[in-house]
Chains A and B, each alone.
Chain A
């Protein structure tokens, strides 16, 4: 382990740039070389795109490469692979799985999606009913069921999948975690049109899908523990970015207020100021959280930031539609689009208002997150429950 300081990493970056000048190198070839140099995610182990360096040094590498005009791997398009599949494969994968999947995942040659949520199992994720049955001769798993709210399923090559392998056990115990080939026969992806008119997500129907046992992640029946790793990484990735004063959703409302005096009313002014103050306080709270992390004193505030942003985004975008008066009656475009992600800046107020409704549902509903804060941060007693020891097959649904 030599390259753990910023100087060592910068020397490696210079070597990479010298051997593969970005201007004359194919994009994919450059990204593969960057991965092989251990500069993809420097905190990953050597041979898997990293150098076992402190995670904080990634920013140094990224800045240097960006300044040199190096291509990036389009993290927005491959966010689920980077944020959820990769840390789970790193934690639970076999050597073969890590070697096979991490490099094309990071380079962006293979897009990933997440087959967790089901029509009957959303907040109660562990109640999922998609079945995986092992075929006695081949040892392969045969999967049947339906998943929903799947971002990127239509562009994904691979999926992380949880399925029930023993319905006779309580719901958390009979689950197994798989890596599913989205091109396998029996995988059908259908766009799921949303409240905004676009189809950002999908439904995925799995009918007799064959998954070899070598694509199982973790032990049979222990998929819930593996899934918790994925989910923890999902929550980390939401709400942690740094925004400037009057950044985010408050920006277009404030701009409209300044530019269009004819829209102003006293009632709207009071609400605008309240929300402007709350947005500024949310920015400061996020900044304080970031400073705590840098100082090595992580606080529990992170658990709450998603709640705050969900509420604020909804209230601010609602105000924006009202502020626009007659224009607020209009919508920019109901055409069914298939975007790679949420487009809060490229669309108009009506879209922001409708899309923000998802902020308090996706990645854990606000109600579930409030329970988590109450129980884990404040130490209040857990919800009484009677599903923990019952076999999954005996649960009401």
Chain B
């Protein structure tokens, strides 16, 4: 028999709604689509001023960090709400990489060496990203491309590292443990990303020196745990993104007239949008379940996360594709932000495991083995 479902709270608390309002107000003021696009075109999409306000004034960066380490002592439920809003704005900030993945790795190490760095991450004064490919998935074998040549001289190449160009510190998983490496000690080769709002770089280490934070066993377990949390919370980013696409498209087809009628009065379009609404409503339940299961450390959290990823990444891509299609010619232009959402949605569908990978995990957890 498969794992019974743990009790879940799938609603939003009053505190979570307040946090949402604060993040949304900030992004409305400081992260409009035109600004995001302008920055992306310069090749430096990140907005350090927006980041410091989000991290320090709203305290979003430290949500997952306990208060005794300078964080908010909140949970995955609150971080999920922040990610919903960041997805809604395709905001180019290193939240998923620094405040979720790197933070969870450091929390998972739970060593004296990791605590000072955690404090800096919680305050947002330091951006720290894990030097792993963005496509690395929970449940997949962890690669070990970096070797310690002796005495902490780290050597190796890691591809597709998200937000590395915005990082102060890289978390490097080497064969001998986990290391904090100053970004300046690594060679970063920016790649041209499909998603302009989450830049990718190849990280090359040539006998780079770092601070050892944990031994190999601890490090690998911490990375595995962080990938699970990251995948579960990515579902909330996908939800927010899909919601923006739906809302924007509904607004467009209500106002756009063709054949002397609002385009949205044609049944073919109404049915497509009604189905999309249904999928977004379902994605909300799936994403909330994953955030709640992670927060509660529920025994079925790995299954709930796999379900959320298997479902939400497809919904986000479809919402963005429908957004482009139902905007007609406007949807194909550079100036309309629909393409930013499509690019983020498609890249997100590869990040932290594809839907197919997560369905494979569901097969394991639900005891539905392959032939």
Contacts and interface: CB of A to CB of B under 8 A. Distances in A.
Contacts of B368: 254, 257-258, 269, 272-273, 276
6 closest cross-chain pairs (CB), A and B: A374-B270, A381-B265, A264-B371, A373-B274, A288-B10, A284-B285
Nearest to A308: B278
Dominant SS among interface residues on chain B: helix
Given A269-B371, A288-B10, A367-B271, A381 B261 contact: yes
B349 to A, nearest CB: 15
30 contacts: A244-B5, A254-B2, A265-B371, A269-B368, A270-B359, A273-B360, A273-B368, A281-B283, A281-B286, A281-B307, A284-B10, A284-B282, A284-B285, A285-B286, A288-B284, A288-B285, A291-B9, A291-B10, A291-B11, A304-B278, A307-B278, A370-B271, A371-B270, A373-B278, A374-B264, A378-B270, A379-B250, A380-B253, A380-B269, A381-B254
A346 interface: no
Interface string B36-48: 0000000000000
A254 B1 CA distance: 10
A297 B267 CA distance: 30
Interface string B141-173: 000000000000000000000000000000000
A interface, how many residues as a size bin?
Answer: 35 or more
A283 B269 CA distance: 27
Interface string B353-371: 0000001101100111111
Interface in A252-288: 254, 257-258, 261, 264-266, 269-270, 272-274, 276-278, 280-285, 287-288
Nearest to A380: B264
A246 B359 contact: no
A245 B285 contact: no
A270 to B, nearest CB: 7
Interface string B331-367: 0000000000000000000000000000110110011
B281 interface: yes
A1 B318 CA distance: 54
Given A370-B270, A378-B270, A381-B265, 11 more contacts: A244-B4, A245-B2, A245-B3, A274-B359, A278-B311, A281-B283, A291-B11, A374-B273, A377-B277, A378-B274, A380-B250
Nearest to B271: A370
B262 interface: yes
A282 B282 CA distance: 7
A246 B2 contact: yes
A67 interface: no
Given A245-B4, A380-B273, A281 B285 contact: yes
B270 A284 contact: no
A378 B277 contact: yes
B interface, how many residues as a size bin?
Answer: 35 or more
A134 to B, nearest CB: 39
Interface of A: 244-246, 254, 257-258, 261, 264-266, 269-270, 272-274, 276-278, 280-285, 287-288, 291-292, 295, 297, 299-301, 304, 307-308, 367, 370-371, 373-375, 377-384
A126 B94 CA distance: 57
A299 B284 CA distance: 12
Contacts of A278: 311
Contacts of B286: 281, 284-285
